[in-house]
C-alpha cells in the first residue's frame, strides 16, 4: 500500500499523523495557498498537479494505491480531479468530508447556492459585514462597496484588496465561541457571510451569530461526483485497514 492524502485541512493533518504512527507509506499533498502550513509527520509535496491528467500521472509514477481526498469541502476542482484521476488509474478513493452544518432553533440563515447569490442577498443599506469566505472569492463583493467588511485570513494579504472598506484579521482556527462573540460585538457586525464548511474548527462564528441574533448568508457546498465518503479519521483508517495492517 502507498497512500496519497490530498490535504490542507486539520483533519488531513490528523490523518497524516495517524498514518505516520502506523507506519503506512504515504505522501501528503497540499496546494500551498497558505504560507504557513499546518504541521504533520509525512513527506510533503506542495502545489497543483496540472489537472486530472497530471494527478493520474503522479499516481502512476509514485505507485499510489489509495487516495484520500481530505481537501476543504469547497475545493471542488481538486475533488473532481481526484475522482477522474482515480477512475483513470483504477485507484481506490475515499473523501474525508465533515458533515455540513444544519440549522437549529435561533438560527437566521439565508441559504444561497454560490458566491454571486451571496452578494445579491446582502442588504442595500450600508452595514458591517463579517465576510468569512477566504481571500479567493472577494472580488464579487466589490459590487456592494457601501458595506464595511471584516475579513479573517490565515496569512497576511499581499497587495490591495478589491473592497474599498475592509479590515483584515490574521488568525488561524480553530476559533472559539467567546472569541467570535467578542469579534462580532467589538466590530458591530450586523451580517455574516460564510461557506457551509461544517466541522468544529470554524463553527464558532455560526454559534456566535445565533447568540447575537444576526443573519447569516450561508453558501451551499458545490455539487461533486459520487464517491465513497468518511466523516472521521477513524473511518478512513478502517478503510485503509483492508489493504494494510495498521500499527505494524
Predicted confidence (pLDDT) per residue in 93-151, tens digit: 999 998 899 999 999 999 999 999 999 999 999 999 999 998 888 999 999 999 999 99
Q: Which residues constitute the domain of residue 51?
A: 3-99+224-240
Strand partners, 96: 230
Per-residue pLDDT band for 247 (boundaries 50, 70, 90) equals: very low
114 in a domain, yes or no? yes
Domain count, the chain: 2
**Same-domain status, 112 and 192:** yes
**Same-domain status, 64 and 8:** yes
246 in a domain, yes or no? no
pLDDT of 248 over the 50 cut: no
How is residue 6 written as a grid cell?
Answer: 490530498
88 in a domain, yes or no? yes
50 in a domain, yes or no? yes
Per-residue pLDDT band for 173 (boundaries 50, 70, 90) equals: confident
- Per DSSP, 151 falls in state E
End-to-end CA distance of the chain: give it in Å, rounded: 13
Q: Do 225 and 83 form a contact (C-beta atoms < 8 A)?
A: yes
Strand partners, 168: 151
| Percent share of the chain, pLDDT over 90 | 70
CB atoms within 10 A of CB 207: 18
**pLDDT tens, position by position, 21-63:** 989 999 999 886 655 455 667 899 988 899 999 999 999 999 9
**Same-domain status, 95 and 112:** no
Residue with cell 461533486: 224
**Which position has the higher pLDDT, 224 or 41?**
224
12 in a domain, yes or no? yes
**Same-domain status, 35 and 124:** no
Which H or E run includes 71? none
**Same-domain status, 232 and 206:** no
Q: Do 234 and 126 form a contact (C-beta atoms < 8 A)?
A: no
In whole angstroms, what separates CA 190 from the centre of its chain? 24
247 in a domain, yes or no? no
Tell me the average pLDDT across 151-166. 86
**Same-domain status, 121 and 69:** no
Per-residue pLDDT band for 244 (boundaries 50, 70, 90) equals: very low
**Same-domain status, 234 and 195:** no
CB atoms within 10 A of CB 156: 8
**Same-domain status, 191 and 236:** no
**Same-domain status, 213 and 235:** no
- Per DSSP, 52 falls in state H
**Same-domain status, 48 and 122:** no
Q: Are strands 44-46 and 26-30 parallel, antiparallel or unpaired?
A: parallel
CA 68 to CA 66: how far, in whole Å? 7
CA 43 to CA 45: how far, in whole Å? 7
**pLDDT tens, position by position, 176-208:** 999 999 999 999 999 999 999 998 878 999 999
70 in a domain, yes or no? yes
The predicted model scores a pTM of: 0.85
Q: Which pLDDT does position 146 carry in this prediction?
A: 97
CATH, residue 88: 3.40.50.720
Which residues contact residue 73 at a Cβ distance below 8 angstroms, ignoring those fewer than 6 apart? 97, 98, 100, 195, 196, 197, 198, 221
**Same-domain status, 143 and 69:** no
How is residue 142 written as a grid cell?
Answer: 466589490
Task: Output phi, psi for 120, to 5 deg.
Answer: -65, -30
180 in a domain, yes or no? yes
**Same-domain status, 114 and 198:** yes
Which residues contact residue 97 at a Cβ distance below 8 angstroms, ignoring those fewer than 6 apart? 69, 73, 229, 230, 231
Amino acid at each position: 500500500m502507498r497512500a496519497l492524502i490530498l490535504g490542507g485541512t486539520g483533519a488531513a493533518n490528523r490523518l497524516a499523523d495517524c498514518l505516520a504512527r502506523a507506519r503506512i507509506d504515504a505522501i501528503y499533498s497540499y496546494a500551498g495557498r497558505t504560507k504557513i502550513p499546518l504541521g504533520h509527520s509525512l513527506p510533503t509535496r506542495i502545489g497543483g498537479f496540472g489537472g486530472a491528467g497530471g494527478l493520474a500521472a503522479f499516481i502512476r509514477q509514485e505507485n499510489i494505491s489509495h487516495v484520500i481526498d481530505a481537501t476543504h469541502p469547497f475545493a471542488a476542482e481538486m475533488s473532481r480531479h481526484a475522482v477522474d484521476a482515480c477512475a483513470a488509474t483504477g485507484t481506490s478513493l475515499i473523501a474525508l468530508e465533515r458533515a455540513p452544518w444544519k440549522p437549529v432553533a435561533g438560527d437566521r440563515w439565508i441559504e444561497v447556492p454560490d458566491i454571486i447569490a451571496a452578494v445579491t442577498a446582502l442588504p442595500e443599506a450600508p452595514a458591517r459585514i463579517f465576510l468569512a469566505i477566504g481571500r479567493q472569492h472577494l472580488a464579487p463583493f466589490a459590487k456592494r462597496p457601501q458595506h464595511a467588511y471584516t475579513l479573517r485570513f490565515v496569512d497576511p494579504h499581499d497587495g490591495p484588496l478589491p473592497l474599498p472598506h475592509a479590515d483584515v484579521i490574521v488568525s488561524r482556527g480553530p476559533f472559539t465561541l467567546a472569541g467570535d462573540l467578542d469579534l462580532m460585538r467589538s466590530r458591530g457586525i450586523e451580517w455574516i457571510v460564510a461557506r457551509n464548511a461544517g466541522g468544529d474548527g470554524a463553527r464558532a462564528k455560526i454559534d456566535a451569530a445565533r447568540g447575537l441574533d444576526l443573519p447569516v448568508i450561508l453558501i451551499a457546498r458545490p455539487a461533486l461526483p459520487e464517491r465513497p465518503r468518511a466523516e472521521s479519521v477513524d473511518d478512513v483508517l478502517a478503510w485503509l485497514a483492508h489493504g494494510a495492517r495498521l500499527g505494524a
